[in-house]
Structure 1
């Protein structure tokens, strides 16, 4: 028995270099424009048997804007960044350069007082492994790019450092299929190109 899960990256709410840890800002006008431009391509995913989203405002808004009416899943929340919540990487680096270096180098490190990369990957993977398994069941999940990167590291059983090498663009899709502990990556659909740099 296998199920298919398609992840949809939430629309952007800021340029990539201005992304903030655990960003809880709503979708801005440009983000809504992105959703409107690709809605016709992503609308067929609304036919999935189960539709989920992360609790982040832009993920919820993206799911609603695409007509998915998704259920919020706390396990799909962004990595807990502790005292760095709301900062950009550059801001965290300016305040605590050695701590940021340690965090980037060691997947077990939690210099920010939040969640380690390993724990984050494990949490997202645990969510994936506990989805109801019915042969052919289709799931769509709208989440932050960081959550999708964590899911891919888990699915591929890749070294944690792989997380930093995965680029997930807003409104892109990627699929996985299988069941708990036995997942395969499925390249599918179109990738909506963001106008943000």
Structure 2
């Protein structure tokens, strides 16, 4: 018996260069448009027995717009970025360059006073490992950072791999398995 977990990255709430740590802004116009254009390819995921979303406004709005009627899961919240919350990476780098360097190099550090990358990955992994273990499917809409953390945990990659995973808005990834034994599932595009 295994569970199939499809993770959908929330639609965007700003342009890439304006992305902010622990962003709580709703979907922007472009994000709504992207959901409308992608809905036909994602709506089938709503047939999952369990449907979740992170508490971020853009995740909730994405799940609702796709017709998932997702349950809010506080464990799927974005990484707690402490005093860097609401700032862009370039703003933080201008104010605390040494802090950014430490944060990028050491996954156990939290120079911002929030959650370390290691703690974030472990929290998301803990959520995965507590999903119902039975043959079935679930879908979760969450911030791209949450999807990256889930992938690092699922394939048991080193925390530094987090920085090498690019998760675009409305992209999906599926992992299957049991608590502590996850596999990345890549599906062929129907021809």
Matched, 1:174 2:170: no
Query: How many angstroms apart in 1 are the aligned matches of 2:13 and 2:83?
Result: 21
- Aligned residue for 1:90? 90
| Structure 2 unmatched runs, 5+ | none
- Aligned residue for 1:150? 149
- Aligned residue for 1:195? none
**What per-residue deviation string (whole Å, max 9, x for no partner) do you get for residues 36-91 of structure 1?**
00111111111000000000000000000000000010110000000000000000
Alpha-carbon distance, 1:189 to partner? 7.0
- Aligned residue for 2:125? 125
Indicate the RMSD between aligned Cα atoms, in angstroms.
Answer: 0.9
| Structure 1 unmatched runs, 5+ | 191-197
Alignment of structure 1 residues 183-194 onto 2, 5 Å: 183-188=182-187
Query: How many angstroms apart in 1 are the aligned matches of 2:185 and 2:106?
Result: 29
Query: How many angstroms apart in 1 are the aligned matches of 2:112 and 2:106?
Result: 13
Distance 1:51 1:189, change over 3 A: farther
Distance 1:160 1:28, change over 3 A: same
Query: How many angstroms apart in 1 are the aligned matches of 2:162 and 2:186?
Result: 18
- Following TM superposition, where does structure 1 have runs of at least 4 consecutive aligned residues deviating by more than 2 angstroms? none
| Contact 1:8 1:174 (C-alpha < 8 Å) held by counterparts | yes
Query: How many angstroms apart in 1 are the aligned matches of 2:188 and 2:169?
Result: 14
SS of alignment partner, residue 110 of structure 1: coil
How many residue pairs get aligned? The number is 189
**What per-residue deviation string (whole Å, max 9, x for no partner) do you get for residues 83-117 of structure 1?**
00000000000110001100000000010000000
Alpha-carbon distance, 1:17 to partner? 1.6
- Aligned residue for 1:39? 39
Matched, 1:71 2:60: no
| Contact 1:8 1:140 (C-alpha < 8 Å) held by counterparts | yes
- Aligned residue for 1:50? 50
